Structure 1
Amino acid sequence: MQVIRNVSLFIVVLVLPLLGEAQPGPINANQGIIDGPVMRTTIPTKRLIPYDYQREADVVWSKRVWRSLDMRQKLNHSMYYPLDGYDSDGNWIRHNTHWSLWTVIKTEILAGNITVYSPYNPVAYTITDGDQFKYPILPKAGGNYNSDSVYREELSFYLYMFGEESDVPYVDIYGYDSIDQYGNLVYPPREMMPYSSKDIVSYKLKEDWFFNKETSTLDVRIIGIAPEIYVRDAQGRITGKKELFWLYFPECRYAFNNYLVYNEKNDAQWMSYDDLFWKRRFASTIIKESNVYDRDISTYRVGVDALLQAEQITEEIRNLEHDFWSY
């Protein structure tokens, strides 16, 4: 008999408590209450500064690279902490002064402000070209996370971790295996748990470095960002990493622009997540550059050699700017 795995019903119960309130960060906006010497309004209300317009004819050189932002690096802790979580009732518990990057991303996705792109081809799962933003996860016209159940169910596969499928079907009141109207065994839904900040071990960045001859400057544009989690085997051993989804970074900037990032040196000088990426206040390692083989560094370098190769690519980009200014 055909097996039915009932997932959608279970999704509705767990996903809806996630929504909470869509707000520009944990800001105290009570009238008459100022939590500190001043009311922090600069970051939550500031407008996005657009990138400078670049003419194709002015870009005389460019190099595409992919980076990995390891959340274990101390410089990246402002993106990783504070951790969010869930209580026994399934309520999403978030920090009351500032949020991690994952908390911001998930909040904006559920609010419908950021589009999720599948990391792989939905037809051929072996093709991983999600960083080209070919496969958006979108609701129906006029729909949203609350009203479109199909969109909500599809999105859950990118925001939740799933347990193993049960081999034991439901049992009816007479002690027999439960069967639906088509004569198929009905199995319990797979256990689901939403990803939290602690599950996001790294972020992958796709960016372009380019030299503009009109302004004589070397600049960089982040094109996409993807959260990553560990992949484990049946014994719980780490076997690699997996991209959850890709986000188009120019779209994310409108969301990142109004969320505060903790500054351990000065509580009066907190920046936004957009400022953090623009000022490149993060630690990263190059894991791939554009090349004729379209291969990652890990396919031909291992361990320290891979780190040295990443540093060599960085040094080549730096030297190129110096060469442009040499007469």
Structure 2
Amino acid sequence: MKSFIYSISLFAMLSVAAVPAYAQQSVSSTVSRKSDTRAASTKKTGVSDRARGRMSADGVSATDADLAWMKVVYRSLDLQDPANAALYFPEQSVDGQENLFRIMMHLLASGELTAYEYLDGREAFTDEYRLKVRDMLDRFHIYYTEGKGYSEKRQVFDIEESDIPSTEVLGYYMVERWEFDRRAGRMRTKVEALCPVLHRSEEFGHEAVRYPMFWVRYADIRPYLAGQLIFTDDDNNLPQSTYDDYFNLGLYKGEIYKTRNLRNKSMAQLYPDPEDLKHAQDSIENRLKSFDKNIWVPSLEEMQSKAGTATAANDSIAPAKKSTRKISGTRVSSKRPSKRVKSSSVKSGSTATRSVRNRKR
């Protein structure tokens, strides 16, 4: 009997000791599965969920209560401009480096990026105008196949590298936002959206036609651009910057083709004359770049410094000297002598006289 009770007690003790070990093993296996899933997601996209959330939080604009002034402009980026060459090259994927359009297409095909329809004259980033990737691929004649795990809810596609028309995307439309933060006391420039523009000629020898493809919000694609290293000039071939650095530092160059206005008209519609259009574009550029400088009242020291500079400039001007000419050792003034006008006086008698010649007596 005692041996039976001893056996039961020993079995109970072993069972109690095994429960924490099993629980610890179960928790560790759960954590391992979650970490494996997270690692697989990171390996697939190159961006972890934590990094994606942090980048999205950093891209949030200041609230309207913090802003004292805001201007939304639309730019057209020509990739043939040397300043924008970093967005076009490399044309083919080389050593893990891809141009901007290839990154967009890979993310759209895998369902990791949301794009929106291009609407003529306006843009709407709502579910109503969410881009259907299959329709876009068919519209621009891009060959594709349904990817692994394809379903109606999760549409993924496989696109061969040679079928991506990256060499035909020769421009981008950009929505740029300039805002003055009253709390920080400075001007900030942010890229809100990007639209690749396809240049395609219907017939050989004809001028290429521009086809805006779709809009992508910069906040959505920013986490992926922050992990893609590029080199921005020909002097240093070591990729040390990212696409996110390129846009945040404003290294791109593009002309303004529209500003947000009440009538929703482009610059070409508002200024049909080319000279007036160029003047208006330059005026907007100068206003944007000098807005934060003109908003502050100069201090007393700055005013005194400007006054001292103006006084020194006036004192440095020497008085004008009379120019003289030297002829055969004689110094002759170049000032012409004034002519004296003599008034001729006519003498007349004080009384009239009569002739008495041949007068009869």
TM-score by length of 2: 0.56
2:218 corresponds, among 245, 249, 255, to 249
Aligned to 2:248: 278
Alignment identity in percent? 18
Structure 1 CA distance for aligned equivalents of residues 223 and 244 of structure 2? 8
Aligned to 1:117: 116
1:292 corresponds, among 254, 257, 262, to 262
**More helix per residue: 1 or 2?**
2
Aligned to 1:316: 287
Structure 1 CA distance for aligned equivalents of residues 230 and 134 of structure 2? 31
Residue 199 of structure 1, CA deviation: 0.4
1:153 corresponds, among 123, 129, 134, to 134
Matching of residue 205 in structure 1 with residue 204 in structure 2: no
Native 8 Å contact 1:201 1:228 kept in 2:
yes
Residue 293 of structure 1, CA deviation: 2.4
| Paired amino acid for 2:58 | P
Decide whether aligned partners of structure 1 residues 272 and 304 sit closer, same or farther in structure 2, where only a CA change above 3 A counts.
farther
Residue 65 of structure 1, CA deviation: 0.3
Q: CA RMSD in A?
A: 2.9
Decide whether aligned partners of structure 1 residues 153 and 107 sit closer, same or farther in structure 2, where only a CA change above 3 A counts.
closer
Residue 302 of structure 1, CA deviation: 5.4
**Helix, strand or coil: the match of 2:283?**
helix
For each residue in 1:17-47, what CA deviation from the matched residue of structure 2 results, as whole angstroms up to 9, or x when unmatched? xxxx95549xxxxxxxxxxxxxxxxxx99x7
Which structure is richer in relative contact order (CA contacts within 8 A, separation 6 or more)?
Answer: 1
Q: How many correspondences in the alignment?
A: 229
Structure 1 CA distance for aligned equivalents of residues 283 and 229 of structure 2? 34
Native 8 Å contact 1:228 1:243 kept in 2:
yes
Structure 1 CA distance for aligned equivalents of residues 139 and 221 of structure 2? 17
**Helix, strand or coil: the match of 2:58?**
coil
Native 8 Å contact 1:160 1:194 kept in 2:
no
For each residue in 1:119-177, what CA deviation from the matched residue of structure 2 results, as whole angstroms up to 9, or x when unmatched? 13xxxxxxx25622241125xxxxxxxxxxxxx63241366359xxxxxxxxxxxxxxx
Decide whether aligned partners of structure 1 residues 240 and 265 sit closer, same or farther in structure 2, where only a CA change above 3 A counts.
same
Residue 208 of structure 1, CA deviation: 1.3
For each residue in 1:205-247, what CA deviation from the matched residue of structure 2 results, as whole angstroms up to 9, or x when unmatched? 0121111111111112211100002254546522642211110
Native 8 Å contact 1:288 1:296 kept in 2:
yes
1:74 corresponds, among 77, 82, 91, to 82
Aligned to 2:64: 56
Matching of residue 216 in structure 1 with residue 185 in structure 2: yes
Residue 80 of structure 1, CA deviation: 0.5
Aligned to 1:260: 229
**Helix, strand or coil: the match of 1:112?**
coil
Aligned to 1:173: none
2:131 corresponds, among 133, 137, 144, to 137
Native 8 Å contact 2:178 2:188 kept in 1:
yes
Decide whether aligned partners of structure 1 residues 246 and 52 sit closer, same or farther in structure 2, where only a CA change above 3 A counts.
closer
**Helix, strand or coil: the match of 2:256?**
strand
**Helix, strand or coil: the match of 1:218?**
strand
Larger Rg: 2
Structure 2 CA distance for aligned equivalents of residues 201 and 224 of structure 1? 17
**Helix, strand or coil: the match of 1:295?**
coil
Structure 2: give runs of 5+ residues left out of the alignment. 1-42, 144-161, 299-361
**More strand per residue: 1 or 2?**
1
